[in-house]
Amino acid sequence: MKRSRNAKIIATLGPSSSTRVRIEQLFKAGADVFRLNFSHGSHEDHKDRYDAIRNVEKELNSPIGIMMDLQGPKLRLGTFRDGSALLGMGRRFRLDLDETPGDVTRAPLLHPEIFAVLKPGMTLLLDDGKMRLKVLECGEDFAETEVMVDGVLSDRKGVNVPDAVLPLSALTEKDMTDLRYGLQLGVDWVALSFVQKADDIREARKIIGKKASIVAKLEKPSAIDDLDEIMELTDAVMVARGDLGVELPPEDVPILQKRIITTARKLGKPVIVATQMLDSMVSAPAPTRAEASDVATAVYDGSDAVMLSAETAAGDYPIETVEIMDRIIQRVEGDTLYQRIRESDRTEPEETEADAISAAARQVASTIKAAAIVTYTTTGSTSYRVARERPETRILGLTPKVETARKLALVWGVVAAVSADAEDFAEMVKGARKVAKAEKIGERGDSLVVTAGVPFGTPGATNILRIATIS
């Protein structure tokens, strides 16, 4: 389905959006990719949603991307004797491996991997950063801390350690079970939580192989320190602002968002901006002006996609939320300032044949006012390189593989379509004309700028450019 915008929308499915009818409504409202959050729900729930998406895809004859989001390690306190305890600023508070329920003086923290990396002077964040503890003394099974902020601490609240890399894999036993199940279903993207270092991507890649593409969720300060290598290894990145905002000062998050987007754009990797984008619409029929501005900023910055979480998974207005996000994106992309920013921020092509052809395709399409740049691709790499150019012209990504078309649903500006495999370039151009007309991207007499790699099926071998006319 051709959209009237380039940036894509990811909608999370949940109790508010799990029926086949609701999924079709969300897609028609503007959702391009659906997220299955494996932090919640059973495998049977996710299978039902997966099957419903594929039914909608088949009925509407439009590729739809599916992303599974792994939970990752969850670090939590134990319980309290009375269910909670009031901690006063300046008081001492002990954390240890003793399972005995806690009180105002101590609490169980049954994670020896945390104590293994603690040092005096480090900060521990509890309950999404609402409470802060400063480590005074520590050992392999305890930490004596000072309470930095007054507050009530209750059972099983989350713990963050922003000052250290924890000796933990990004994949827990639950994640491994979920991952095997998701790959068996046939998900297109795997969002990897708790990424601390590049080795986390390498570990996931060994398991996933080529069965799906990886989205590295950037939510830990240590991942930012290892950003360049993580970017090289992953297929896409997500700016997970909620978790980043817990472990980093809030004033740092907007700057990091721009840095991550810029780095991803340079490498031609899709970048997603996520978390609380239209959060008030969980319970209200319209967003705040600040939220609308937040979505717009992500689009101005050049994001490939913006993501909705609770708004569509558990909110009262899932369809309206997608519709409003769609309208915001369209309005921004129609702004002359956005167009000037896109022109001035364009990344210089690398010294490769693929980038030379992609940059030329953008320039030629702009000069002759082509209806579309058509990329013929098996793996998606040709479409990725053209999308990196952020052309003014629509990108039509043709592929003989439905799996590739589904992945391209996430990529900026790409209208993905499955086309019969071509044996030669002439046959490919013929197919491009046919699909462009069928998708209503162009009509008789319009020009197409066609790019491909020869020999066909060689990833990254974009080396041909041709101008064709729709007949």
- Is 343 inside any structural domain? no
| 318 and 197 within one domain | yes
Q: How far apart are CA 377 and CA 458, in angstroms?
A: 9
Strand, helix or coil for residue 79: coil
What CATH number is given to the structural domain containing 366?
3.40.1380.20
How do the pLDDT tens digits run along the chain, 471 residues long?
678 999 999 999 999 999 999 999 999 999 999 999 999 999 999 999 999 999 999 999 999 999 999 999 999 999 999 999 999 999 999 999 999 999 999 999 999 999 999 999 999 999 989 999 999 999 999 999 999 998 999 999 999 999 999 999 999 999 999 999 999 999 999 999 999 999 999 999 999 999 999 999 999 999 999 999 999 999 999 999 988 888 888 899 999 999 999 999 999 999 999 989 999 999 999 999 999 999 999 999 999 999 999 999 999 999 999 999 999 999 999 999 999 998 888 888 888 888 899 999 999 999 999 999 999 988 999 899 999 999 999 999 999 999 999 999 999 999 999 988 777 788 888 889 999 988 889 889 999 999 987 776 666 667 889 999 998
433 is catalytic: no
Q: How far apart are CA 25 and CA 301, in angstroms?
A: 28
Question: End-to-end alpha-carbon separation of the chain, Å?
Answer: 22
pLDDT of residue 243: 85
| 124 and 101 within one domain | yes
Q: Which of 285, 300, 332 is the endpoint of a domain?
A: 332
pLDDT of residue 1: 67
Q: How far apart are CA 389 and CA 371, in angstroms?
A: 16
| Tokens encoding 259 | 């840095």
Contact call for residues 14 and 311 (beta carbons, < 8 A):
no
| 198 and 53 within one domain | yes
| β-pair partners for 452 | 464
- Is 30 inside any structural domain? yes
| 370 and 325 within one domain | no
What CATH number is given to the structural domain containing 31?
3.20.20.60
pLDDT of residue 351: 86
| 29 and 178 within one domain | yes
pLDDT of residue 374: 95
155's CB contacts (< 8 A; 6+ apart) are 77, 78, 79, 80, 83, 84
Q: Which residue has the tokens 């997500």?
A: 238
**Per 3-state DSSP, what percentage of the chain is helix, strand, and coil (rounded to 5)?**
40, 25, 40
- Is 340 inside any structural domain? no
Q: How far apart are CA 195 and CA 221, in angstroms?
A: 10
| 194 and 151 within one domain | no
Contact call for residues 188 and 63 (beta carbons, < 8 A):
no
Residue 467 neighbours by CB distance under 10 Å? 14
| 196 and 295 within one domain | yes
pLDDT of residue 428: 85
| 242 and 220 within one domain | yes
Of these residues, 3, 22, 76, 174, which one is catalytic? 76
- Is 47 inside any structural domain? yes
| 146 and 176 within one domain | no
Q: How far apart are CA 123 and CA 349, in angstroms?
A: 43
Of these residues, 12, 145, 234, 275, which one is catalytic? 275
Boundaries of domain holding 146:
84-160
Rg of the chain, C-alpha, whole Å: 24
- Is 136 inside any structural domain? yes
What CATH number is given to the structural domain containing 107?
2.40.33.10
- Is 121 inside any structural domain? yes
220 is catalytic: no
- Is 3 inside any structural domain? no
Dihedral of alpha carbons 319, 325, 331, 333, sign: negative
Q: Which residue has the tokens 């066609």?
A: 450
pLDDT of residue 459: 65
Does the pTM exceed 0.85? yes
pLDDT of residue 194: 94
Q: Which residue has the tokens 């980043």?
A: 244
Q: Which of 122, 142, 160 is the endpoint of a domain?
A: 160
394 is catalytic: no
| 105 and 141 within one domain | yes
Q: How far apart are CA 318 and CA 296, in angstroms?
A: 19
- Is 1 inside any structural domain? no
Of these residues, 5, 35, 269, 406, which one is catalytic? 35
Q: Which of 109, 136, 160 is the endpoint of a domain?
A: 160
Of these residues, 49, 106, 217, 394, which one is catalytic? 217
| 318 and 229 within one domain | yes
| 287 and 412 within one domain | no
47 is catalytic: no
The C-alpha angle 364, 365, 367, rounded to 5 degrees, equals 65
pLDDT of residue 328: 98
- Domains in the chain: how many in total? 3
pLDDT of residue 453: 77
